Structure 1
Amino acid sequence: MIKEFLRRITKNSHDNHAPITPSITADITSAYTLIPIDFHGGGIGKRINSEDGTLEAADGTTMTTFKVYHIQEGDIVEVINKNYEFKLATYREGPADHLIYTYCYQSEENWTIYNNDFIEDDNYLQTYTSKKDTYIRIQLRRCDKGTININLDTEPVIHIKSPKTARITKAAVPYPCKTFFADEIRKTATAILKEKEAIRAEGKDTITLALLADTHYVMGGTFEDTLSNLKAVHSQAPFDAVLHLGDLTDGMSTKAVARDFSQIVLDGLRELGTPVYPVIGNHDTNYFKGNPDVLTEEEQAAMYLQDIGQANPRYYVDFEDIGLRLIIFNSFDSKEKVRYGFNDRDVSFLEDTLSKTPKTTKVLVCAHVPLLPKMHYWSKEIRNHEKILALIQKHNEKHGTILGYVHGHNHSDQINTEYGFPIVSIGCNKLEYFTDYKPEGSVTYERKMCDETQDLWDALIITPSRNRLAFIRFGAGEDRVVENPL
């Protein structure tokens, strides 16, 4: 059986300038499923560094995958084009402790650990059968050692064959739920049902959102566990929609890799069968650590929002049956001198949307970056925060319908109620635990691999008629309830 890290990549690219990633397909002529290998982020002129297993520049006679693939016993790696041959580097489950317990973004968005087994010699292969569960990165060359001159997007060179009895389609083998999450799944589902039953007993209506922030998808990370837990809770206490508050990926590689990794997250969340509403975070712009391959706003919308029919990162969602509007807008612009905050288009959008919101409709404002500079460690300014704050306060004073402002980005929990409505920060879904680089007054909960604190997300139960937000925490942290008296 094979579990490719990238098994949820969609068939079609949402980035018109990026190549289409092929999908996993069943080979009806044999007893195997064929898993294509792509070279997004790697490619011609890259090779494996034998010291640390990372990619490094090379001449045009080698090409290497950026992504690592998880293969299991019986899986076969083989060239399709017999003019090529390959070598493998192998990796094992991680992550290294420093990736959890310090402020650190792995440069290749890869949490597996290199096995120090790559030797640059002439022992290249054209086929390899795996004898164990491992992770691989693949380096190829021409058999004649000449310069490689092919179009990797249209000319397949290599694939993995997996026994069809183990896997027929991408969804054939369910991801196993980890036993150490079992109690947390039951506890969270029970808490959701109790909250909804209590509100229903008062004759009030609710809506339940799966609420996540800062997933920062990496190869060998823990998102598959998060998705498994979301599905398990959803099966017992259903969600009405998913709201992701931004930073699907680290944003340190190419646009093609950003698309592939973000689609793993978004396609996974869509497997719940509910609408998924993304907020675009600063890392989602693919602007981090000096990455030159920055996404334009149009590319961001095409990559993250096409599934819900939105053409830009400012939009709203109405739940008319319970009188609720989610207002979602941008909070980072890499082109601005003060990058964190709200540009003039964001301000105009919020002003126009609030002015056209029915006066009895309750409003939850959603962004990635916090509204207040004092709730933000990384800069002393939040661009145009005074204008956004004034718009929200004015609407609330006039109608009393602002439920709150919810955001991610800080990787910590916090609630501020000084301004007439709650400003609520959500901790990070990414497995991470350190207390520095956080705003004063925020709370960071201890996290550990392989227990319930490995995961972190909320079930947000909204009762508009009571101005009530109930955050039911899964994993590290505590439940929180906010009721805006206005």
Structure 2
Amino acid sequence: MEKTRLEATAGFGLNPTNGCLERGHPKLMATEGFYLAAEGSRLQLQDSCYRYAVACYSLELPEKYIHTYDYAPEQLWGTYESESLQSGFQEGDYTFGRRCYFRFCLRRVDGEAITSAEAESLAYILTCSAMAQRREPKIFAEEVRQVADKVQRLRQSDDLVLALLTDTHATVNGTWQDTAANLQALQEKVHFEGIVHLGDMTDGTVSRAMTSFYVSSMLEDMQKLAVPVHIVLGNHDANYFHGNPEVMPLHEQAGLYQVGAARWKQEADRTYYYVDYPQQCLRCLYLSAYDNEARPRYGFDLTQIAWVRETLAAVPESWRVLVFAHDAPLPELDPWSEEIRNGRLMMQALEDCKAQLLAYIHGHAHADFVYHHKGRKEFPIIALGCAKCEDMAERKVEGSFTPARVLGEVTQELWDILLIKKSGKLHFIRFGAGHDRSV
């Protein structure tokens, strides 16, 4: 998630009190991303017309981001070292005495404004030697082996196997790289047919450019698995959180998050779609359950509901249907919203489906839960706990389960391998914290 090539943006500075990025500084340029320095890494000024200042951030993570409802400023799981910017702007080399994250800020010696062209020429102004490499943990090998063994014992030739995760809320110095590595290790043993992410890939608190960088990096990691990647949009994916001014409308989100699903969509900017698996006689719907410009924001527009009815009406009676979304269709299953826009209409559309509806699977609740809906058609609504290393107790649906999480142990991970049997039975085989479930 950290940057590897030095970059800076004209007009940005760094706040010496908290190390956060600030707009509105025409005489400065600063980096938006974070860089990982090794002990002995060195910044070198190549052009004497400039001076630079360095902000350092320790790798120490405040526990509140794991155990309470809180999100780290600028999506960094680290601690700003307030004395690092106090030395001011300098001209000599800067050598890092320990492993840490860092940012930098530059100004001209003559006090003139910084131009975009100067920022684009940063490689000729400031360089860094010996950037640190990320350390790969060894703690997950046994979990990979055990999960692979479970899948292989249950699996039959006509089963569909998907990797399923949600609410990664990826941060710098977070756990996404471990998740990506574990998915790759398990794929080499299991060979699942696809990966499904149920939304909230990042916190959505940084600029449009940085969110695009983080999301593109994550998608690249998932695409390395060489299977179809299916993304549904979460509320944080709108890039609105913590008053972020650079909100992404739905068509932008579709272009960024769902490029891999484009061939299944009938319209370029549609944020919902379906995928058929003829061998399993299965149609999977991927719905869009949040619109930051609508009120209430959580829910479904009427156009999507009409599309759901049309799509389900075309399913052969011998087929089955599985629905994926970020949020549940019922307000009692959403700990953050008292109303789901057109939720009851969506439920009616699903209940009218002539094919067998196996389940409605969602994220957002940051907890495991199976709700047995009893309407005209009975089907379970299944919540999946968050892949982010978090076990906050507040804002939970009654009866749901939130397993304890420990950073640096196997329980920092939480996601499933979903095995769909031809009979319609669903096996959720857990990787990391929590338990296996069969529905």
- Alpha-carbon distance in 2 for matches of 1:448, 1:438: 19
Name the CA shift for 1:152/1:314 in 2 (closer, same or farther; >3 Å): farther
> Given the alignment of the two structures, is residue 461 of structure 1 paired with residue 430 of structure 2, yes or no?
no
Of 359, 362, 365, the match for 1:407: 362
Deviations 1:21-64, CA, capped at 9 Å, x for gaps: xxxxxxxxxxxxxx42234xxx3343333333223456322222
Deviations 1:188-232, CA, capped at 9 Å, x for gaps: 111111111xxx2xxx61111110100111111111111111112
> Given the alignment of the two structures, is residue 388 of structure 1 paired with residue 328 of structure 2, yes or no?
no
Q: Is the 8 A contact 1:189 1:237 kept in 2?
A: yes
Of 420, 427, 430, the match for 1:470: 427
Of 32, 35, 44, the match for 1:69: 35
- Mapping for residues 56-95 of structure 1, pairs under 5 Å: 56=22, 59-73=25-39, 75-79=41-45, 83-95=49-61
Alpha-carbon distance, 1:388 to partner: 1.1
Aligned match of 2:437? 480
- Alpha-carbon distance in 2 for matches of 1:126, 1:301: 46
Q: Is the 8 A contact 1:87 1:125 kept in 2?
A: no
- Alpha-carbon distance in 2 for matches of 1:82, 1:469: 64
- Alpha-carbon distance in 1 for matches of 2:316, 2:103: 55
- Partner SS, residue 36 of structure 1: coil
Aligned match of 2:203? 250
Deviations 1:268-300, CA, capped at 9 Å, x for gaps: 111212111111111111122222211122111
- Alpha-carbon distance in 2 for matches of 1:140, 1:179: 39
- Alpha-carbon distance in 2 for matches of 1:74, 1:333: 47
Q: Is the 8 A contact 1:81 1:156 kept in 2?
A: no
Root mean square deviation, CA, Å: 2.3
- Partner SS, residue 140 of structure 2: helix
Aligned match of 1:418? 373
- Alpha-carbon distance in 1 for matches of 2:73, 2:96: 28
Aligned match of 2:7? 38
Aligned match of 1:186? 145
Alpha-carbon distance, 1:161 to partner: 4.8
Alpha-carbon distance, 1:445 to partner: 0.8
Alpha-carbon distance, 1:121 to partner: 4.7
Aligned match of 1:149? 115
Of 160, 185, 209, the match for 1:232: 185
- Alpha-carbon distance in 1 for matches of 2:164, 2:85: 45
- Alpha-carbon distance in 2 for matches of 1:255, 1:451: 33
Alpha-carbon distance, 1:153 to partner: 7.0
- Partner SS, residue 101 of structure 2: strand
Of 102, 105, 116, the match for 1:136: 102
Aligned match of 2:395? 437
Alpha-carbon distance, 1:176 to partner: 5.3
- Mapping for residues 153-164 of structure 1, pairs under 5 Å: 154-157=120-123, 160-162=127-129
- Alpha-carbon distance in 1 for matches of 2:85, 2:181: 37
Of 213, 220, 232, the match for 2:173: 220
Q: Is the 8 A contact 1:36 1:160 kept in 2?
A: no
Alpha-carbon distance, 1:160 to partner: 4.7
Amino acid of the residue matched to residue 14 of structure 2?
Answer: I
Name the CA shift for 1:358/1:290 in 2 (closer, same or farther; >3 Å): same
Aligned match of 2:72? 106
- Alpha-carbon distance in 1 for matches of 2:303, 2:61: 40
- Partner SS, residue 183 of structure 2: helix
Mean alpha-carbon deviation: is it higher for 406-415 or for 127-136? 127-136
- Mapping for residues 298-313 of structure 1, pairs under 5 Å: 298-309=251-262, 310=265, 311=268, 312-313=270-271
TM-score, reference length from structure 2: 0.91
- Alpha-carbon distance in 1 for matches of 2:174, 2:404: 18
Mean alpha-carbon deviation: is it higher for 55-64 or for 445-454? 55-64
Amino acid of the residue matched to residue 413 of structure 1?
Answer: D
Amino-acid identity (%): 34
- Alpha-carbon distance in 2 for matches of 1:119, 1:213: 37
Aligned match of 2:328? 370
Mean alpha-carbon deviation: is it higher for 96-105 or for 287-296? 287-296
5+ residue gaps, structure 1, are 7-34, 168-172
Amino acid of the residue matched to residue 405 of structure 1?
Answer: Y
Aligned match of 1:5? 2
- Partner SS, residue 292 of structure 1: coil
- Partner SS, residue 447 of structure 1: coil
Name the CA shift for 1:152/1:332 in 2 (closer, same or farther; >3 Å): farther
Mean alpha-carbon deviation: is it higher for 403-412 or for 234-243? 234-243
Aligned match of 1:346? 304
> Given the alignment of the two structures, is residue 51 of structure 1 paired with residue 51 of structure 2, yes or no?
no
- Partner SS, residue 289 of structure 1: helix
Name the CA shift for 1:407/1:127 in 2 (closer, same or farther; >3 Å): same
Mean alpha-carbon deviation: is it higher for 418-427 or for 404-413? 418-427
Name the CA shift for 1:82/1:297 in 2 (closer, same or farther; >3 Å): farther
Amino acid of the residue matched to residue 174 of structure 2?
Answer: G
> Given the alignment of the two structures, is residue 327 of structure 1 paired with residue 293 of structure 2, yes or no?
no
TM-score, reference length from structure 1: 0.83
Q: Is the 8 A contact 2:283 2:319 kept in 1?
A: yes
Mean alpha-carbon deviation: is it higher for 382-391 or for 74-83? 74-83
Alpha-carbon distance, 1:348 to partner: 1.6
Give aligned pairs, total. Answer: 430
Mean alpha-carbon deviation: is it higher for 52-61 or for 286-295? 52-61
Name the CA shift for 1:159/1:414 in 2 (closer, same or farther; >3 Å): farther
Alpha-carbon distance, 1:244 to partner: 0.2
